[in-house]
Structures are given as C-alpha cells and as structure tokens.
Amino acid sequence: MNFNLAGLIKAAVLNGTPLLFGTSGEILTEKSGNLNLGVEGLMFMGGAFGLAGAFWYDQAAGGNASGIVAVLIALLCAFAAGCFGSLIFSFLTISLRANQNVTGLALTIFGTGIGQFVGEQLRLKVGGNISISNALKGSFANPVLPQSLQDIPFFGQVLFSYNGFVYLGIAMAIVMSIFLNRTRRGLYLKAVGESPSTADAAGINVTKYKYLATVIGGGISAIGGMVYTMTIAGTVWNHTALSGEGWVAVALVIFCLWKPLNALWGSVLFGGLMIMYLRVPIAFLPSQIYKVLPYIVTAIVLIIVSLRQKREDQPPASLGLPYFREER
Amino acid sequence: MTHAVELKNITKRFGHVVANDKVDLYVDNGVIMSLLGENGSGKTTLMNMLAGIYYPDEGQIFVNGKEVSIRDPKDAYANGIGMIHQHFKLIDVFTAAQNVALGIEDGKYDLKKVADGVREISEKYGFGIDPNKKIYNMSVSEKQTVEIIKVLYRGANILILDEPTAVLTPQETEKLFRILKAMKEDGKAIILITHKLNEVMEVSDVVAVLRKGQHIKTVRTAETDPQQLTEMMVGRAVTLNIDRMDPVDPKPRLTVANLTCRDSEGVSKLEDVGFIAYGGEILGIAGIAGSGQKELLEAIAGLRHISHGSIIYTPEGKAPQELVGKTPMEIKDAGVALAFVPEDRLGMGLVGGMGMTENMMLRTWNKGKGMFVNRKEPEKVAEQVYEFLEVVTPSIDYPVRKLSGGNVQKVLVGREIASSPSVLMSAYAVRGLDINTSYIIYNLMEGQKAKGVAVIFVGEDLDVLLALCDRILVLCDGKVSGIVDARTTTKEEVGLLMTQVGGGKEALA
Amino acid sequence: MKDKTPLIRLAKREDMAKSKIWMIRLAAFAVAILIGMLIFVIAGANPIKAYGTMLASSLGKKSGIRQVVKNAVPLLGVGLALAPCFRMRYWNIGAEGQITMGAMAASYFALFWYNRMPSALLLIVMAIAAMLFGAFWAAIPAAFKARWGTNETLFTLMMNYIAIGIVAWLQGGPWEGKPGSQIIPMFDQKAVLPKILGVHCGWILVLLLVVAMYIYMNYTKHGYEIAVLGESENTARYAGMNVAKVTVRTAALSGAICGLVGFLVASGVNQTLYSDVAGGVGFTAITVCWLSQLNPFAMIVISLLLAILSRGSSGLQTALGIPASISDIITGVILLCMLGCEFFINYRIIWRHKETAGKEAA
C-alpha cells in the first residue's frame, strides 16, 4: 500500500473546512428551532459574493492590493450575503410564519440562482474564467504558520500547514461550543429552540433570539461557500463543484448531534470522503461511482441516527415549528 | 389600602369571541384567592394577561396601587407576578437549576449560584428538589415544584397557579396545599385557578367566580357553600348528581388477562394487567397521568404491540374471540369502539382540517368495493350526530379544528356511538368541557350502559368517576393496583391505590 | 403608560373571501415581478426591455411557444408527482434522482433493445421500465422513513446525487458511444416519442395525468388515506390505516411519475441520456406544487408560467447577455413572495392606534 497518510489528512482537513463553516452555522440556526434548508443557497451566495468582493478589490487596487484586506473583504462579503439570505428566511418563517421546509427550499433555488448569476456575470465581464492575481490567491490558500512549525515531520503537515480559514473555523466552532454551553445567552438560545413558549414565559425575547441565531448562522454557513471557492476551487467560479456542499452540511448537523465540537471531526471525515477518490483510488471502482461515496455515507448516517433514540441526542424539540404566542 | 394586584375593566377578545368582559378584580397580600369558573369562562385568559402572555384589549392593571403595563412575561416578573401554567413551562433536557436560570439577568452568569438558591428555597419549604436533576427524570409533582421554585426564585409576591391539582394525586394535592398555606403566611398573594369546589372550600380565603368571561362576584369562602358557588358558576340551580342505575344482567364482554406491553425501548408500559369488563356496566379507570391508561385502551384497540397476554371478547350472543393479533380495523369491525380525547383534543381520532363528514369517514373509509370512497354513508352519520348532539357548526363540511372544544368532543364521541359498538372505550371524554356539556356526555355513557354496552371510562376527576361508574379499576405504574366498587369506595382509598403499587413511586408523565 | 402598548399585535383570521385571497396572491406576484425589475436594474439592464425580451422570445413566435410547452411538460408532471407526497407531509425532494433513474431505465431499452421490437411496444416498455425504476428509487428512503423515521428530506436528496453519479459513470463507461467522448449515442428513431402539434406527445400524457391526479387525491381511498396521514399519523393509525404501507406506496407512486417524466425528457426531448437529464426540474417542480396549493389544475398555469420564465431568460442571455440563471432568481423571488403572502391571508394585524382610542376613553 502506497499512500501518504499525512497528505490525506491534510486534504481532508482542507476539504472539510467549508463543511465546518456550513455545518456550524446551521447548528446555530437549528439551536433556535429554525430548520433552514437553504444552506446550499447560502453557500452559493457566499462563494459568489466572496469571490466578487476579492475580485473587485483586486481590480480597484491594481498591483498593490493587500492580501489581508482582500481576505477580510471576501469574508465580509460572504458573511453579509449569507446574513441577507437568512434574513429573508427569518422574516418569512419567524415573522410571517411560512413553512420552514418550503421556505428553505425556495432560498436554495433563489441563492443558487443568485450565486450562479453573480459568478456568470463576472465571467461575462472578464470574458473567460475569472481569477484574481496570484499574489492575492496566495493570501487565501497559503499556510499562515511559520515554516519552522510546518517542518516538523508528520505533525507539521497534519497540524500546522493550513491556510487561515482552517484555524478560523476551528476557533469559531470552539467559541460556538463555549457560547452554547457556558453562557447565559447560549442557555437562552437552547431554551428557545427546545420550547419557545417556555422561553417566552421566562421573559426571553424569542423572536430576537431566533432572528439573531438564524441570521448569524446563515452568515457563517455562507463563509463556507467562500472558503471553498477561494481555496479549493482556486478562486475560479465553479458551480458544479460547489453543488451538494450545502446539503451535506445540513446532513452533518444531524451527524454531529447539534454539537459544534463534533462538527470539528465530522467535517474532516466528510472532507476526506469527498476527496478519497482522488487520493486513495480503488482499482475496480470507477471514479464517478467513488465520487458519490460521501452521499452514500450521509444516507447511511441518517439511517443510523434514526435508529438511536438517546434523550440527549435528539434535535431541538421545536425544530421546524413556528411559534405564535397568542395562538388559541 | 392598596391591593397586591387589581384589575379594572379588563376586556379581551379573540376574533368575535369575548374571552373577558369588563372584569374588575383584586387580591390582597397574605390571601389565597380561588378563581372559580367553568372551562371556557375565561379564567386562564384573565390570568395570562397578568403573566404577560396576552395583552388586554381594554382596561388597566394595578400592582400595589400603581398602574402597570404588562407587555410580556418579563414585565410580569418585574412586577412580582409569577404564574405556574397548567402545561408546565419547563425545558425537558435542562436541569432544574438551568430552568430556574432562564430569563434571569443578574450580573455574571453563574449556574452554581442559581443551584444554591434553588437548594435554599427547596429547604425553606421542604420541597426536596435536586437542582441538578434533569426535568425528564422527574415526576409530575416534582416538575410542578420546580415551577413553583422558579417563581419564588425570582422573588414573586403574587403567585398564580392554573389548575395545579389536575395532575396530582390526593396526597400530593394535600402537600401542595400545605405549601400554599406556608407561602400565604409569608405574606404572598396567591391566586388559584380551579373548577373543583372541594379545593376551593379547603384552601382559599376568598372566591372570585367568573362566568362567560364576566366577573360574577367575589365572596369569602367562610360565608358560602358549594351549592351557592355552583349556581354562581353555572348561572342557575343545577343538580350535580348523576342518575346512576344498577347494571342490568351484566355478562362478561371483555376478559383481559396477563396483558403486558413494552414501548420501543423495552420499557414496560403495562404489566400483567387483568380484568373483566361487563356489558351493561361502566368500568372506570383511574390513575396518575401516564400510568398506562392510554396504553391499555390502545392495546385493546389493536394499536399497540402486545408482548403477551390475552383479550377475549364475547359479543352478545356470539362465540368468544381473541382480539390479540387482530388488526385495528378487524377489532373495530367486531364492535369495539375507542373515543380518545388527547390533550390537544385533535391529533388522534379526528382530523382537524376536515369537516364532520370526512371525519365520520375515518370509520368507514375502506368499506365497499373499488378504489373510490363512499361519501353518502358518512354524510348521513354526520347529519345524525349534528342533529342528535346539537353540534354547533356552520355546516357539516366546516373544519372541525375551528369548532369549540365541546363540539369537537361531541363529534368524536358521537361518531363512536353511531357505530353501535358493544364495547365503548372513552378516555378524557369531558376534558376541557363546561358542566352542561360534560353532563350530556355522562348521559350518553349512561345511555350506552342501558343498551347493554360495556363502557370503559378513563377519567381524570375522581369525583366524577365515583359518581358515574359501577366499578373503578386503578392503574399504578402500568399495573392494576386494585378494582373497587364505585358505590362504596372513597376518594382516599382510590388515591392510595393510585400510588401504592411499587412503593408509592410515581410514574413519569 | 399608553404608549407602552405593543405597536403591532397579531390575531388569527377566520375565513377570508375567496376573491380577496386571490387578490392578495396576485399582489404578491406583482411584488415579485417588481423585485425582478430591481434585479435587472442592478444587473445593468433596462427592466421593461428585459421583460419584453423575455415575453417575445417565449410567446412571440411559434418555436418559442413550443419550447415553453416542452419545458412545462416535465415541470407539470413532477409537480403532479410531488402533490400526494406533500399532502402526506412527506418531503420528497428526490424528484431529481427519480427522474434520472427513470430516464436511465428507459434509455437501457432504447439503446439495447430497439431492434428487437416495434416502436410502439418499445416506447411502452421504456415507459414501464422508467416508472418501475423511479418508483424503486423513491421507495428506498420511504421504507426507512416508514420503519425508523429516517429523515426523508435529506435522504431523498442524497439519492439524487447517487443517481446522477450512476448515470455519469454509465456516460463515461459502459454506455459510452465513441471511446473518450463521454457521451451516450443518440437513440434510434424508434425510441423517440412521436410529435403532436410540433411537441412530443408527452404533453397529452401529463394533461391526462392532471385529471387522474385530481381524482386520485380527492375521491379515492388512497387519497383519503394520504390526507389523513398528512394531518396526523396517530389519527391514521387509529383509523386502522397501515402507515408504513401508505408512506411507501405514495412515495413509490410519486417516484413512478417522476420516472415517467424522465422517460419523456430522455425520449421526447434529448433523445439520449446524460447525467444532467433532470436539469433542476425536480426542484423547480416543488415550486409548482406549492404555489398551486397542491391543486392539479392550478399546476398547469404555474408550470406554464415558470416555463415562460425559463424560456424567456435563455432568450435574455442571447439578446442582452444577461445570465440565464436570472430565471432561478425570479422563480425563487416569486416563491418567497407567495410564501410570505399566506401570512396576510391567515392573520390579521392590529395596529396600536386602533385601540388607544378605547384606552383613552377608559
């Protein structure tokens, strides 16, 4: 057997990072009792607007564009696009009490449309595949830690050789976990997701928590799309490659039992599954069939999760249900 | 003198329904007031406006003489008002302390501090609650105690309890009343929403009576009696006696033996249950909520997997047959009817979005050949139920979800009776009904009994069970803890049986 | 004190007149069109001209109309397929995969059996194979849902990717035409659906299906079971219905119709098979289904509307250089507006000023 374990792990982590953002964002959203099936659309929007932001900055700044500014702009654009998309979702489902399932699907149609539209528009404007200057590309995809750390055998590559988004994602998941389990606001948010009427009776502003969690969660998910486009796809708009990421992210939420820390290794696992066909070819297995492996595993995960009935592992009790105080 | 809380001219409407009509009411510190009224008289709505769940359409609220505006529960707490709702407002997967911490904003977030506070209150009143126990591991009575602690922890001076005894055994009820009296000594104002007269007489100092959303009168408990209160509540003199006749020629209709059921996780829900239900009698079933009442009826109706045991059914003039192993449809067709009224009234037995006709179809939908449903028959049945039970609905195709609770239950019970069953099982048939409609239902049961039907009646109110049934089977933790003669037993005896098996351990709700 | 009354409060509305309900929905549609205009402006196009181009390229000439009908057929067919699932509150978003599998099964006969039977028989065999495969593909998640309550939304979705992967493999592998082409050869003419009025005869089939589905949902025992199960699983069990059976049967029926649509598209339109045969129809049809409130007849109108939109926007791309994905955006906006407007049908808004008058009098 001849394969490079460290290389495989590294690739899995890199490919898992967009999922980590997508999943963590959706965990935050679902903790408030909102089931936003529009993650696919949000990640498209994040990818397209993140790319567009970096691209226009690159154009505007000419030769002396700063890498850090470009990264920040891309982050901000993606986050804002995700917030915008999930704000639509929030308004419809929280304020107007529309069906969450259908609204999420509508957001997917809308978001993938917008993402695709922006990506195409850029391509038409430039006349060919759009791409940003190599210097800027590097500031997205290059390792951020000192070379000496990266040179440590095996661990250097497995732990210290990543771009900034990987560490940002890990920090974000840890912060989210602390928020949910160690802070008052986190307790309130979980209460809203479990039983909005209880939270309401306790004087917690249910609408505010639902809006904030859903909008911020959507923004975080959208960053995942941007990370995909700017690192894995090499700053080229490629909608076929991005398609499916958002849905796997939604499924991962179930797999991770609504816990951000589980998302850390869950996303690496699925990131690995997504690139296995490139890294660990199996002689008899055609790559097209091998490629659907993550989807097959997701389906199996869904089945296994449905078999397990532990009390602590259940979704937030009010997930998917609208709340109306004066219901009678 | 200023009152702890005073309502002036409070009006609340829901659509065209006036839930509260110009209510004036007050309560003082150190007083337990009962808020008495039938179901639907607007008691809970009125109190929900104090708790910030609803906002009044008109009127003013004063706390300690100062006008306040209570827009949400936060305002209510800020004014020292705490409400313990009938359906507990607790998060199942949280601990007691986490539940108490909800909505409290005092400096740094410190669950330990909250837990200490909970322990302190718990010791002061003798609650015996572990702050770190998860709610889903608690009994009903413990959950209620957590609700009370929640309110006390926030320093509430005015406590509102919405039908707190509905889920308790007589013994737990007494304990609760002791606690209420202790809090009264502490100078708190307590409002007890109830429709049970004996509780009113036992625990309260004053009684305020509501009828059809209006405040009828407030009287001192010492200066009144149940008969007078009932008249105020219902609006005219009523006899509260059920005309119970002796069973005529009772023959075994349903013989249940060694019935054992487990749920999907293997937890035993019914254990070794055995009894005989006779034709021409009403067999009552009592027990704490969740003691296996629902499971027993479902097992007989074929809706639940039976681990072992037998259910022998002997229809009038026919050979006995075994029901275990038959499909729900076959059991139904053999003449066993089930009218189960769940907490939300719909959800089981009726389809809220459909009209009466289509709901009647639930019994007959697969009758007849071919792929099409027969609409004619159920339409006739719907007409009959509509006329005979005086269902108030714009048309028999009007969605039953939009009917009032009483009418929904008439549709459900009416349909089961219309199938002329020989065993009629009903659970919580009068849940949430006013006294008049309740008596219509009781009379329907009596009528079925007179026709020789074996009636099995699961009830919540022990007074009603004692007055209506011939025998009462008491369930405790999924086991039969006794079968008593309803004419000679007492509430205390039944109450003890409800908790006795398994050393007084209560079943989870 | 008075200004402390909440600014807006809500109350459930009882019944609203039918005409008013449709006025609200029409208004929501108008709002969606206006938002569409805004998007055109942002994209740097004249919105009036853009809509004009869309109408002209879709309804302005015969070929455009034919194209619209061609696009509407699968939308309508899949919309019909999804209706019983949605009525049952079973979120089948796997139509995409079911279409693909149906098309694959039909293609197998078109590619390898065309010279062994007459055209009519071949087409019938293709249709049946497509329906069976679609039904099978839909029944897998349904069976897990029925047995263990497995989340069907995500499961059906994963089945899409798996189906598309299988066809992609066939395309570049066993069924590949010229080696290295990554393309499956065109069907023989015997395996192509005949045309009626210039469009493959599938349009007649789906129109018949509209009537059949209306009857199925409203007058049959199956339809009644589906309606009851959708409202409450407990009630369905109570009424003696076999919940698992109804779930799997309904999903399989839905998959069968999707499979049939896959056959119509592969044989009538593409005349070959490729992995993108479903082309997003499975998702857009969800819109069709929901916008028409599960009413089969309304689906005819909605599917035509969305087909005009999609045809119009490809015209837009050629004429004005605006990416055709604008049609997805507008479809999404229409759906979002329609979802939002239901609120105004179901709820009444009470503003503060209406009641302060009453308070001041008190």
> Any chain A CB within 8 A of the CB of B241?
no
Section B467-495 average pLDDT: 89
Q: Please, which residues bridge with residue B18 across strands? A: B13
Contact A96 C340 (CB under 8 A): yes
Give the number of residues written for chain B: 509
Q: Tell which B residues from 126 to 185 touch C, by Cβ distance under 8 Å.
A: none
Look up residue A235 and give its DSSP letter: T
Among the residues of chain A, which ranges form H helices? Answer: 5-31, 39-61, 67-90, 100-126, 134-141, 147-150, 155-160, 164-182, 184-194, 196-201, 206-227, 239-242, 245-255, 260-279, 287-291, 293-307
User: Taking CB atoms and an 8 Å cutoff, what residues of chain A touch C10?
Assistant: 324, 326
Residue A257 has pLDDT above 50, yes or no: yes
DSSP string covering B205-261: SEEEEEETTEEEEEEEGGG--HHHHHHHHHSS-------PPPPSS--EEEEEEEEEE
Boundaries of every domain in chain A: 5-313
How high is the pLDDT of residue B205?
94
**Would you tell me how many other CB atoms lie within 10 Å of the CB of residue A297?**
17
Instruction: Round to the nearest angstrom and report the end-to-end CA distance of chain A.
Output: 66
> Any chain C CB within 8 A of the CB of B332?
yes
User: Taking CB atoms and an 8 Å cutoff, what residues of chain B touch C223?
Assistant: 373
Q: Within 13 A of B232's CA, how many CA atoms are on the CB side? A: 21
On whether the CB atoms of residues B216 and B185 are closer than 8 A, the answer is no
Contact C325 A117 (CB under 8 A): yes
Residue C205 has pLDDT above 90, yes or no: yes
> Any chain C CB within 8 A of the CB of B240?
no
**Would you tell me how many other CB atoms lie within 10 Å of the CB of residue A52?**
22
Measured in angstroms, the CA of C361 and the nearest CA of chain B are apart by: 10
On whether the CB atoms of residues C267 and C187 are closer than 8 A, the answer is yes
What is the rounded average pLDDT for all residues in chain B?
85
User: Taking CB atoms and an 8 Å cutoff, what residues of chain B touch C220?
Assistant: 371-373
Q: Give the distance, in angstroms, between the CA of residue B179 and the centroid of all CA atoms in the same chain.
A: 22
Boundaries of every domain in chain B: 5-234, 239-335+422-509, 350-420
User: Taking CB atoms and an 8 Å cutoff, what residues of chain B touch A194?
Assistant: 91-94
**Residue in A203, A317, A328 nearest the CB of B77:** A203
Distance CA B269, CA B507 (A): 10
Q: Which residues are within 8 A (CB) of B488 and not within 5 positions of it... i.e. 6 or more apart?
A: none
A neighbours by CB contacts (3+ pairs under 8 Å): B, C
Q: What are phi and psi of A15, to 5 degrees?
A: -75, -20
DSSP string covering C217-281: HHHBHHHHHHHHHHH-HHHHHHTT--HHHHHHHHHHHHHHHHHHHHHIIIIIIISS--TTSSTTH
On whether the CB atoms of residues A278 and A1 are closer than 8 A, the answer is no
Where is average pLDDT lowest: A28-32, A89-93, B224-228? B224-228
Section B24-31 average pLDDT: 92
Section B52-57 average pLDDT: 86
Dig out the tokens for C139 from the structure: 């029944």
User: Taking CB atoms and an 8 Å cutoff, what residues of chain A touch B101?
Assistant: 184, 187
Give the neighbor-by-neighbor strand order of the sheet with B308-313.
B268-278, B252-262, B308-313, B321-322
**Would you tell me how many other CB atoms lie within 10 Å of the CB of residue A99?**
18
Listed residue (A15, A17, A32) closest to A216, CA to CA: A32
Q: Tell which A residues from 98 to 137 touch C, by Cβ distance under 8 Å.
A: 98-99, 101-103, 105-114, 116-117, 120-121, 124
How high is the pLDDT of residue B284?
93
Give the neighbor-by-neighbor strand order of the sheet with B81-84.
B81-84, B158-162, B189-194, B32-36, B206-211, B214-220
How high is the pLDDT of residue C356?
43
**pLDDT tens, B381-433?**
899 888 888 888 888 888 888 777 778 888 888 888 888 888 998 888 887 67
> Looking at chain A, which residue has its C-alpha nearest residue C347?
A96
Q: How confident is the model at residue B508 (pLDDT cuts 50, 70, 90)?
A: very low
The residue among B161 and B247 whose pLDDT is bigger is B161
Tokens 């694959």 label which residue? C104
> Looking at chain A, which residue has its C-alpha nearest residue C163?
A292
How high is the pLDDT of residue B504?
41
Residue B34 has pLDDT above 90, yes or no: yes
Dig out the tokens for A111 from the structure: 């978001």
**Residue in B58, B346, B402 nearest the CB of C359:** B58
Listed residue (B161, B140, B500, B475) closest to B492, CA to CA: B500
**Residue in C154, C287, C343 nearest the CB of A98:** C343
Residue B302's alpha-carbon distances to A124, B360, B458, in angstroms, are 66, 20, 17
Residue B167 has pLDDT above 80, yes or no: no
Measured in angstroms, the CA of C233 and the nearest CA of chain B are apart by: 8
User: Taking CB atoms and an 8 Å cutoff, what residues of chain B touch A182?
Assistant: 109
Superfamily of domain B239-335+422-509: P-loop containing nucleotide triphosphate hydrolases (3.40.50.300)
- CATH architecture of the domain with residue range B5-234: 3-Layer(aba) Sandwich (3.40)
**What CATH topology corresponds to C46-321?**
ABC transporter involved in vitamin B12 uptake, BtuC (1.10.3470)
DSSP string covering C336-357: HHHHHHHHHHHEEEEETHHHHH
**Residue in C14, C224, C358 nearest the CB of B373:** C224
Q: What is the sign of the dihedral through the CA atoms of C128, C131, C133 and C136? A: negative
Contact A309 B51 (CB under 8 A): no
How high is the pLDDT of residue B241?
63
Q: How confident is the model at residue C223 (pLDDT cuts 50, 70, 90)?
A: very high
Q: What is the sign of the dihedral through the CA atoms of C334, C339, C345 and C350? A: negative
Section A118-136 average pLDDT: 76
Residue B507 has pLDDT above 60, yes or no: no
DSSP string covering A5-53: HHHHHHHHHHHHHHHHHHHHHHHHHHHTT---TTHHHHHHHHHHHHHHH
**Would you tell me how many other CB atoms lie within 10 Å of the CB of residue A283?**
4
How high is the pLDDT of residue B343?
59
Dig out the tokens for C123 from the structure: 């087409």
**Residue in B83, B92, B102 nearest the CB of A188:** B102
Contact A105 C151 (CB under 8 A): no
How high is the pLDDT of residue B461?
80
Q: Which residues are within 8 A (CB) of C126 and not within 5 positions of it... i.e. 6 or more apart?
A: C105, C106, C109, C110, C191, C263, C267
Distance CA B25, CA B39 (A): 19
Contact C362 B9 (CB under 8 A): yes
Measured in angstroms, the CA of C104 and the nearest CA of chain B are apart by: 32
Interface confidence (ipTM) of the complex: 0.86
- Which CATH class name applies to A5-313? mainly alpha
User: Taking CB atoms and an 8 Å cutoff, what residues of chain A touch C316?
Assistant: none
> Any chain C CB within 8 A of the CB of B399?
no
- pLDDT above 90: percentage of residues in chain C: 51
Q: Give the distance, in angstroms, between the CA of residue B494 and the centroid of all CA atoms in the same chain.
A: 18
Most confident of B15-19, B240-244, C30-34: C30-34
Section C248-254 average pLDDT: 97
Tokens 């998302």 label which residue? A263
Q: What is the CA radius of gyration of chain C?
A: 23
> Any chain B CB within 8 A of the CB of C355?
yes
Contact C154 A254 (CB under 8 A): yes
Measured in angstroms, the CA of B392 and the nearest CA of chain C are apart by: 16
Q: What SS3 state is found at C166?
A: helix
> Looking at chain B, which residue has its C-alpha nearest residue C359?
B58
Q: Within 13 A of C68's CA, how many CA atoms are on the CB side? A: 25
Tokens 């709702």 label which residue? B85
Q: How confident is the model at residue B240 (pLDDT cuts 50, 70, 90)?
A: low
Selected for mutation to probe chain A from C156, C281, C290, C336 (highest A CB count within 10 Å) is C336
Dig out the tokens for C297 from the structure: 């007849």
**Residue in A117, A324, A326 nearest the CB of C326:** A117
**pLDDT tens, A106-116?**
999 999 999 99
Distance CA B438, CA B432 (A): 9
Q: What SS3 state is found at B473?
A: strand
Contact C154 A288 (CB under 8 A): no
User: Taking CB atoms and an 8 Å cutoff, what residues of chain C touch A91?
Assistant: 340
- Could you tell me the pTM of the whole model? 0.85
How high is the pLDDT of residue C343?
87
How high is the pLDDT of residue B52?
86
**Residue in B59, B301, B348 nearest the CB of C235:** B348
User: Taking CB atoms and an 8 Å cutoff, what residues of chain C touch B372?
Assistant: 219-221
Output B169-177 pairs: Cβ under 8 A, ≥24 positions apart: B169/B141, B169/B288, B169/B495, B169/B498, B169/B499, B169/B506, B170/B462, B170/B491, B170/B492, B170/B495, B170/B498, B171/B495, B171/B496, B171/B499, B172/B141, B173/B199, B175/B141, B176/B141, B176/B144, B177/B202, B177/B203
How high is the pLDDT of residue A62?
74
Q: How confident is the model at residue B67 (pLDDT cuts 50, 70, 90)?
A: very high
Instruction: Round to the nearest angstrom and report the end-to-end CA distance of chain C.
Output: 13
Residue A39 has pLDDT above 90, yes or no: yes
Among the residues of chain C, which ranges form H helices? Answer: 18-42, 47-59, 62-87, 95-112, 119-148, 152-172, 202-219, 221-231, 233-238, 243-263, 281-291, 296-320, 326-346, 353-361
Q: How confident is the model at residue C75 (pLDDT cuts 50, 70, 90)?
A: very high
On whether the CB atoms of residues A198 and B89 are closer than 8 A, the answer is yes
Tokens 């082409």 label which residue? C181
How high is the pLDDT of residue B345?
61
How high is the pLDDT of residue B236?
66
Interior angle at CA A169, CA A166 and CA A172, nearest 5: 150
Between helix B435-450 and helix B226-234 the angle, nearest 10°, is 100
**Would you tell me how many other CB atoms lie within 10 Å of the CB of residue B291?**
27
Measured in angstroms, the CA of B216 and the nearest CA of chain A are apart by: 24
Section C181-209 average pLDDT: 89
> Looking at chain C, which residue has its C-alpha nearest residue A298?
C158
Measured in angstroms, the CA of A325 and the nearest CA of chain B are apart by: 7
Residue A298's alpha-carbon distances to B280, B433, C152, C232, in angstroms, are 58, 49, 12, 28
Q: Are strands B158-162 and B81-84 parallel, antiparallel or unpaired?
A: parallel
Residue C362 has pLDDT above 60, yes or no: no
